[in-house]
Amino acid sequence: MRLWNRVQSWLRAIVGRSRIESEMDAELRFHINAFAEDLVRSGVPSEEARRRANMEFGGIERTKEECREARGVSFTETLLQDLRYGLRMLRKNPGFTLIAAFTLALGIGANTAMFSVINAVLLHPLPYPDSHQLVLTFLGDATGSSSRSSYGIVDYLATRENQKSFSHFAAIGLGQNSFTYIGAGEPQRVRGTPATGEFFAALGVQALLGSTFNPASEAPGQPREVVLSFRFWQSQFGADPFIIGRSMLLDGQPYSVVGVMPSDFHFGPRDNDEIWPLLQLGPSEVRPPYWIAPFGRLKAGVTRVQAEADLSRIAEHEQHLFPKSSYDRVSIVPMKAFLVGDSRIALFTLQGAVLLVLLIAIVNVANLQVARASTRERELAIRTALGAGRGRLIRQLLTESLVLAAIGGTAGFALAQLGVRAMLTLAPDALPRMSEVTVDSRTLLVSSIFSLLSGILFGLVPAFRGSGGGIGMGLKSTTGSGQPAARHRLLAILVVAEFSLAVILLTGAGLLARSFERLLSATPGFSPQHLITVQLALPDARYPQESQIADFYRQLLERLEALPGVQSAGISMSLPPNLLALQNPFRTPAEPIVPGKELHAAEEMTVSPGYFRTLGVPLIAGRFFVDADRARSDQILIINQTLARQYFPNQDPVGQRLQTGDADERSPWETIVGVVGDVKYQGLDAKPESTIYVPYFEKGWTSWSREMFLVLRSTSSEAALMPAVRETVWSMDKQLPIASVRTMDALLADSIAQPRFRTVLLGSFAALSLILAAAGIYGVISYSVVQRTSEFGIRIALGADLNDLLCLVLTRGAKLALLGVAIGAPAAFMLARFMSSLLFGIAPADPLTFVGVSGLLLLVALCACYIPARRASRVDPMVALHYE
Amino acid sequence: MAKQVDLLQGTLEMLILKAVSLGPLHGYGVLLRIQQISKDRLEILQGSLYPALYRLEHNGLLVSEWGESENKRKAKYYRLTTAGRRKLRTEAENWNRMADVIAGILQSKPEEV
């Protein structure tokens, strides 16, 4: 009850301040007036009565002040007063305010920007209703020895019929991600994901226009359906409202448009011109190939473990039906976890790094505050003398810090917006879900928390320091030499802290930079300069025969090689550095087929004879393919060095034979005619794998070679060559799209976008921390030199060697820096261990990095200390002695 | 006129509670009633009355509301709360006990010691 009264009167005091003030005024005036009237009634003249009433009442303002205090008005009062005072103090020291606010803005801005990324990539649910129920399913085996595999048709169909765990079960086809679309203009290649009938239903999304797929159309022979993205509908059909039911030609086949998705729907990057053709799957006689990625929406109450058991039962049954295959288990991965993948470690590392930057920034501002406190000591002492309590002073200093933090935070939030925009333009594909990154209310909240916390942190140190100490001490000392020893110790601790934080950051950045350098110098296995790559796709409808495909490519390559500026031309199913299309099992004659035992997998691809020469892949043994091989009836192969070394050690692989494809005794044996150097098809950071090359004109392989990469080695500039290449292609087939024209240099750069992104980010954070740490140590050493001016003066007067003085100051700086390095090193090593999966080609405890970082920090510390050290050695003894 | 006595530290609040316990009063009325009961023997600084009133209200011993004074002016009237009545009783008991003790001490004669 009493507590409630208190709260009420408090609330009234805060909320209705002006009403309370006027009431108090009225109440006191009533008293004086009533008193004066009583006096008049007793015969005192009215002038005199008024005067006496006022006098006997006493100081009305003092009474009011006491009343305010009595009812707890003082809180808001004081706060407002402190705010005003704080702002005035900050305005009076624009230099300090600017530097401190900017330092904070950098720290808070970097944190906010980084958090926006984490927020979008890791924290936000996928943009589908109840997206936590969405999971992907993979085939595997009981031993867990084989890696996760996609599904084949057999497994997909069986699961669709028999599963009990999902409310919806759908899949996308992995074999194709673009389609040739012939509309009004030139034929084009459009982004498209083949999807089964339940695709949209499983994601839980509705069409904006028309409808999504009719699941009954999933059976082959039913009319083909396609759903368009909003952007595609706008760009290709001018947002035609009558589009539903129209037919469009994709890869030469008519598809009927059944729906248009809302503009905010995306599966993959946002705002894409995209289509989703219906994937129709009929029964299959064989279990492989595995090119279907199924996913489903878990029924309410079904756990992942239950679903895994349910689906494994189906896989086991299929394994029974196809004993030569080797998948009898299913593993389930939440869709979000799968999409986000291993970016988690990189993101946590970066966020941790940027938090360290903020800490360093806070330490730096605290440093500034402590140094400034010396000049404010008298001010604080006077306030104490006038009756301000210790708590009162702390509150005032803290309010001041919070004002500063608020300024820094606001600027930081603005910086974060810029930073995020810069990240999105510079590295749009650096992370999965990158297109979803925005600065939203949650980011704003986190940014405010960062500001508040930093305000409290850097405010508390000087507040407790500043409010301590006796009154006399502060008032008497005019040169601020109050308690220099204690302050020096505090400043030194802050500097050591800064350096230990900087060590962690620099080590992380150093390791990433060294890995990235290794990555850049990793040999891709060919010479990437002056190469142009183009995607070609020959539609089934117009090239039904293998001979037609082979003839087309032969003629095209001949014509292209005849072009001026083209040195050589080739085609391949896969391209380095990371555009691998197919992996295939194989065995050597030495390995018998054992049921249930998986064969080794090799990267296998069809190529033209000129492919190796065009890319510059070296021949190690035997020969390349030649045009004369077209006439052969037997099958031939070229293998890479890794395969040769691993499976034909100490023998000549040329002339040896391999079986490729699924384990089958009756498969033909194929003869190795050559060995070439290793080429990386699965990323520059991947280990070299076994690779098998087949001529594209070989029987059975040609129909697999409809979608090929064309590679040209040019003698002139790539840009000048392209029109002629286009002309040549269209002179043979006007309806072929020329898609994704890229230089090999660009493909290489794309393939390392992620490591580049994190290296650049962590590098800039580390640079920031280095600058801040340098500024911190510079400030502290300068301050100590000023404090010891007279001492230096006396030493010089007594004939001290100037170089000795220089050394004295430098040594002090170096000691602080080294102490910081020593303290930070173990933490840096822990960080290195944490991020070891991001490293390539170097160990987490890379000695060069650790030594280099320590040396760099020491060097920076010495440079930062050199200016104040020189100042110390130049002290004029006379001036110095007068100084105190 | 009887001789005036300075108010003992801390007793003003008790006197206010007593004055208000006899019926709702505005601040000036509190002053008048204390002077009247004490037959003008207590010296009260008028200004000190109000911080005390505010403190009592803040602590929930008094409540106030605006009303009309005898001469038709708006005035703020204070009333005792239940907590205030309880407080007054214990304070008065304490005071009386203390006064007895002190008086006993002061009246003691040498032979009693």
Note the pLDDT of residue A325: 77
pLDDT in tens, A244-300: 999 998 888 899 999 999 998 988 777 778 999 999 998 988 887 788 999 999 999
The model's confidence at residue A476, banded by pLDDT at 50, 70 and 90, is very low
SS3 A697: coil
Query: pTM higher than 0.90, yes or no?
Result: no
Q: How far apart are CA A174 and CA A582, in angstroms?
A: 11
Note the pLDDT of residue A15: 59
Contact B75 A30 (CB under 8 A): yes
Mean pLDDT by 10 residues, chain B (113 residues): 58 89 90 87 83 87 88 88 92 90 86 69
Domains of chain B (ranges plus CATH)? 5-106 (1.10.10.10)
Note the pLDDT of residue A469: 47
Note the pLDDT of residue B9: 60
How far away is chain A from the Cα of B45, in angstroms, using its nearest Cα?
7
How far away is chain B from the Cα of A390, in angstroms, using its nearest Cα?
24
Q: Assess B95–A contact: CB distance below 8 Å, yes or no.
A: no
Q: Which two tokens stand for residue A793?
A: 């003066």
For residue B43, the cross-strand partners are B6
pLDDT in tens, A584-631: 889 998 888 877 677 888 999 999 999 999 999 999 999 999 999 998
Residue A210 has pLDDT above 90, yes or no: yes
Note the pLDDT of residue A379: 76
Nearest residue in chain B measured CA to CA from A36: B28
Q: Assess A22–B contact: CB distance below 8 Å, yes or no.
A: no
Question: Rounded mean pLDDT of A798-806?
Answer: 84
Q: Assess A69–B contact: CB distance below 8 Å, yes or no.
A: yes
Question: Rounded mean pLDDT of A465-484?
Answer: 48
Q: Which of A292, A300, A305 is nearest to A332 (CA)?
A: A305
Residues A430/A435/A439/A442 CA torsion (nearest 10 deg): -100
ipTM score assigned to the predicted complex: 0.88
* Contact residues on chain B for A40, CB-CB shorter than 8 A: none
Residue A697 has pLDDT above 70, yes or no: yes
- Answer whether the bond into residue A125 is a cis peptide, omega within 30°: no
Q: How far apart are CA A77 and CA B34, in angstroms?
A: 33
Q: How far apart are CA A33 and CA A21, in angstroms?
A: 18
The model's confidence at residue A4, banded by pLDDT at 50, 70 and 90, is low
Note the pLDDT of residue A478: 42
SS3 A588: coil
**Pairing of β B5-6 and β B42-43:** parallel
pLDDT in tens, A142-174: 766 556 888 989 999 999 999 999 999 999 988
For residue A260, the cross-strand partners are A209, A228
Contact A30 B74 (CB under 8 A): yes
Whether the CB-CB separation of A178 and A189 falls below 8 Å is answered with: yes
Question: Rounded mean pLDDT of A447-472?
Answer: 71
Question: Rounded mean pLDDT of A74-83?
Answer: 71
Q: Which of A174, A153, A175 is nearest to A706 (CA)?
A: A175
Q: How far apart are CA A829 and CA A510, in angstroms?
A: 12
To test the contact with chain A by mutation, choose from B58, B63, B73 the residue with the greatest count of A C-beta atoms within 10 A, namely B58
Nearest residue in chain B measured CA to CA from A35: B28
**Pairing of β A636-640 and β A670-676:** parallel
Question: Rounded mean pLDDT of A563-568?
Answer: 92
SS3 A216: helix
Nearest CB to B47; choose among A37, A63, A70: A63
Residue A739 has pLDDT above 80, yes or no: no
* Contact residues on chain A for B55, CB-CB shorter than 8 A: 70-71
Nearest residue in chain B measured CA to CA from A8: B58
Q: Assess B46–A contact: CB distance below 8 Å, yes or no.
A: yes
Using the structure block, give the residue that is written with the tokens 């900087």: A502
pLDDT in tens, A321-355: 988 777 889 999 999 998 888 788 888 989 999 99
User: pLDDT exceeding 70 applies to what percent of chain A?
Assistant: 93
Q: Which residues, other chains included, contact B101 with Cβ-Cβ below 8 Å and sequence gap of 6+?
A: none
Contact A33 B73 (CB under 8 A): yes
Note the pLDDT of residue A6: 65
Note the pLDDT of residue A388: 66
Q: How far apart are CA A653 and CA A675, in angstroms?
A: 8
Residues B90/B93/B98/B100 CA torsion (nearest 10 deg): 180
Contact A31 B52 (CB under 8 A): no
CB pairs below 8 Å between A and B: how many? Answer: 78
Nearest CB to B50; choose among A28, A34, A72: A28
Note the pLDDT of residue A677: 95
Higher pLDDT, A874 or A683: A683
Q: Assess A244–B contact: CB distance below 8 Å, yes or no.
A: no
Question: Rounded mean pLDDT of A93-105?
Answer: 88
CA separation (Å) from A8 to A2, A16, A261, A390? 10, 11, 55, 28
Note the pLDDT of residue A675: 96
Question: Rounded mean pLDDT of A689-705?
Answer: 92
pLDDT in tens, A535-552: 888 888 788 899 999 999
Contact B58 A28 (CB under 8 A): no
Whether the CB-CB separation of A332 and A144 falls below 8 Å is answered with: no
Residue A879 has pLDDT above 80, yes or no: no
3-state secondary structure labels for all residues of A752-776:
CHHHHHHHHHHHHHHHHHHHHHHHH
Greatest C-alpha distance within chain B? 62
Higher pLDDT, B1 or A647: A647
Note the pLDDT of residue A178: 83
Contact B75 A56 (CB under 8 A): no
Residues A244/A248/A253/A256 CA torsion (nearest 10 deg): 0
Chain-centroid distance, C-alpha A82: 41
Q: Assess A29–B contact: CB distance below 8 Å, yes or no.
A: no
* Contact residues on chain A for B52, CB-CB shorter than 8 A: 70
Q: Which two tokens stand for residue A87?
A: 């702002």
Note the pLDDT of residue A14: 58
Note the pLDDT of residue A18: 66
Contact B47 A34 (CB under 8 A): no
Can you say whether the dihedral through the CA atoms of A697, A703, A704, A710 is positive or negative? positive
pLDDT in tens, A375-421: 677 777 777 776 666 777 788 888 888 899 999 999 999 999 998 98
Contact A70 B55 (CB under 8 A): yes
Q: How far apart are CA A200 and CA A206, in angstroms?
A: 7
| Least confident piece of the model among A767-771, A824-828, A867-871 | A867-871
